[in-house]
Chain A
Amino acid sequence: MATLTAPQWMAPYQALIKGQINRSQMQAILRQVLWPVMGIAVFLLMWQLAASHIDTSLGKFPGPAAVWEQMGNLVDEHQQARQREAAFHERQEKYIAMRLAQDPDWVPVHRDYTGAPTFFDQIGTSLITVMSGFLLASVIAIPLGIVIGLSSTVHAAMNPLIQLFKPVSPLAWLPLVTMVVSALYTSSDPMVAKSFLNSMFTVTLCCLWPTLLNTAVGVTSVSQDLLNVSRVLRLSALAHVRKIVLPSALPMMFTGLRLSLGIAWMVLIAAEMLAQNPGLGKFVWDEFQNGSSQSLSRIMVAVVVIGLIGFLLDRLMLMLQRALVWDKTSAQR
């Protein structure tokens, strides 16, 4: 029941096609398809109705149709930008040829397109940033969580700090992160943009905690029997952690990682918005500032996309959890 193997969930539909459907299979189809579709349909209807009654200074609040139209516009803009990019590269090649003719010692530099990022570019930036921040957080939180879980001394020492920093909002970290990054990262030819580091570190600081705490709890709650097995086998400290502690803690760890990724995504959007760092948050803020008659619809597109990506990221973690974790009951929903 934990593993939804293809034949199992497909069975009711196969039965439907064959015309041999029974009551329970019919219910399964209703539950899986019809009710969710109905739910969405009712939501769209309510949205349309409510939207037509909300007058903002930028016109009516966008309904589903307006948002869909802007989605199309954003796709068009993206394609136009790609065409401009191609033209840019063509011009650049000409410039390089021209300059080499006049200045043979010059070492040509091939540059990336300098145009404004499109909505889809911003999605890409956000995803890269959130993943970097999340990975960095995991790399810090998992080992630290294991140490805290293994040693009650370290736990006692760290606990007040964790409790203190855990509830801090990203908006509070951001100015500090910005100033510290500016102070410490002073390369004249930076590998990555400061704004990227600002967003990434803010994400890291905020999404560290669930993984840290859940890993620690997972490690602390390894069953006494398994600890005894480890002692009887005289496993070395490293083997003990690798063979007993880590696998035992893995379900809890994944629960933490999933929570962390969710937080990372939410924090990122806020951080981008506040710090004007590239990404979806910046897209939303720019559109808000533009205040054109299309701005609200475009922001709604972003809202839907942000939600969708958050959902997909969670599903991705769930799939990973199912693939990697022995305790299938821990990855139910």
Chain B
Amino acid sequence: MRAIKQGLGRLMAALLMSTLSLPVLADGTVGWPEKADLKFGFIKLTDMAPLAIAYEKGYFEDEGLFVTLEAQANWKVLLDRVIDGELDGAHMLAGQPLGATIGYGTKAHIITAFSMDLNGNGITVSNDVWQAMKAHVPMKDGKPVHPIKADALKPVVEQYRKDGKPFKMGMVFPVSTHNYELRYWLAAGGLNPGYYAPDKGDTSGQRQADVLLSVTPPPQMPATLEAGTIYGYCVGEPWNQQAVFKGIGVPVVTDYGIWKNNPEKVFGVSKTWADQYPNTHIHVVKALIRAAKWLDENNNANRPEAVKILSRPNYVGADYDVIANSMTGTFEYEKGDTRPVPDFNVFFRYHATYPFYSDAIWYLTQMRRWGQISEHKPDSWYMDVAKSVYRPDIYEKAARALIAEGKMSAGDFPDFDNEDGFKPPQTGFIDDITYDGHQPNAYLAKFPIGLK
């Protein structure tokens, strides 16, 4: 009898506790953050802008959060520090939460409820390679026709290989957007970027490769290219424009040209952290959504101010002009060949901040395509992984709270009541292959180069 009473008491207490800690209160506002002192990591890239803006514009403080932002040495250190709790969250490559959760590299359940930006990367080759490529690039009015395809690179790579020089390029991390974009671009041009075989202990990703890809941290890309260790690289800004400014390389294609409005970075936290601090997580996402909106507001009107903030040494730290080149809607290819690319950096438009399941599944298909996922998986597996990592539910709570507070309007967001997390089948890839997130295996089957 006593035991039952005690049990009931415990149940009541538990129920009471759970109501108290319900993140979203009845009026649509969010409870106080459980943890107010937060440290977020970032890599020195322009797409960390939402974090810098949320800090500088006081959006974090509006949410009762006291955030410290800290630059990290490389993507691995950043991920490790999120996993071991030194960082509360971080600017991450979209592939990082997915890779960590399925156990490619360090295994840990990482989730994301906020997508940080679309596009923003480019592929740069050294001046020598560009000179050799140029002959094969279609021209119009004396200027190269963009987007340039890897078909133009293929004869150059063959020449290098004939001369006994393996053609080496850099990307920033095995599960980085850049790795997949560079591979996509090379493969679309008939160049095999090489396969991974983790089940055979081979994580170099250079099996059967025409082009050898290796990891270099973003800020070191220009120096590595200059040193001749690599002949080209795929990286985020400002490190492509930096090559143009330094006169050591020429960007040949942006990721906007490879896949229009491709999802890029995400804001990742560990699952443990998110479970422990649900309110805090929502508050963070609220601040980031406002920052992203500010970045795109009034047709990029705030971008010059954003560039000024980013060029401070504690954020990206590159010169104003270098960052401004891409952030303000233009992109300089060959020196002097500056073209408008208004959507080079998208932070908010096109629902850029919403964590679409279809985006997660695209990354998973590329992991399978290049062998990081070592065996065939059913479509349902892709869906399950996407749902355990991408958390539009948390995003929705944040968005609804912002709407309730009058800081944003419903029109800023997807129609949550009818949103299933899948973008309609997407075109706009450089090889004109259509992607439908509902059918990952059918999508994989369409590639001439790549595992199925």
Contacts and interface: CB of A to CB of B under 8 A. Distances in A.
Given A95-B64, A111-B66, A293 B317 contact: no
Given A57-B226, A276-B77, A285-B73, A291 B311 contact: no
A291 B71 contact: no
B334 interface: no
Interface of A: 57-58, 77, 91-92, 95, 99, 103, 106, 109, 111, 114-116, 182, 188, 194-195, 276, 285-295, 298
Given A106-B32, A195-B86, A289 B71 contact: yes
Nearest to A58: B246
B314 interface: yes
- Find the residue from A99, A188, A276 having the highest chain B CB count within 10 A: A276
B392 interface: no
Nearest to A186: B85
Nearest to A94: B61
Contacts of A195: 86
B64 A57 contact: no
B69 interface: yes
Given A109-B37, A115-B314, 15 more contacts: A57-B222, A57-B247, A57-B248, A91-B58, A92-B61, A194-B86, A195-B86, A276-B73, A286-B317, A287-B317, A289-B71, A290-B317, A291-B222, A292-B313, A293-B319
B408 interface: no
Nearest to B71: A286
Given A57-B248, A109-B36, A276-B72, A290 B86 contact: no
B313 A298 contact: yes
Contacts of A95: 61, 64
Contact of B68 (A58, A92, A114): A114
A91 B77 contact: no
A290 B66 contact: no
B58 A291 contact: no
A-B pairs with the 5 shortest C-beta distances? A290-B317, A116-B314, A289-B219, A57-B246, A292-B319
Given A57-B246, A182-B84, A91 B32 contact: no
A115 B72 CA distance: 16
- Find the residue from A57, A99, A290 having the highest chain B CB count within 10 A: A290
B187 to A, nearest CB: 31
B234 to A, nearest CB: 18
Contacts of A291: 219, 222-223, 242, 317-318
- Find the residue from A115, A285, A292 having the highest chain B CB count within 10 A: A292
A115 B60 CA distance: 12
B67 A114 contact: yes
B67 A289 contact: no
B220 interface: yes
A188 B311 CA distance: 34
B86 A287 contact: no
A91 B314 contact: no
A290 B319 CA distance: 8
Contact of B44 (A116, A290, A294): A290
A289 B77 CA distance: 15
Interface in B199-223: 219-220, 222-223
17 contacts: A57-B246, A57-B248, A77-B313, A92-B66, A106-B32, A109-B37, A114-B55, A116-B312, A276-B72, A288-B219, A289-B219, A290-B318, A291-B222, A292-B317, A292-B318, A292-B322, A295-B317
B430 interface: no
Contacts of A182: 84
Contacts of B246: 57-58
Contacts of B219: 288-291
Contacts of B72: 276
Interface string B272-292: 000000000000000000000
Nearest to B44: A289
A244 B68 CA distance: 53
Contact of A286 (B242, B313, B319): B313
B88 to A, nearest CB: 12
A129 B77 CA distance: 22
B118 interface: no
B316 interface: yes
Interface string B301-338: 00000000001111011110010000000000000000
B213 to A, nearest CB: 22
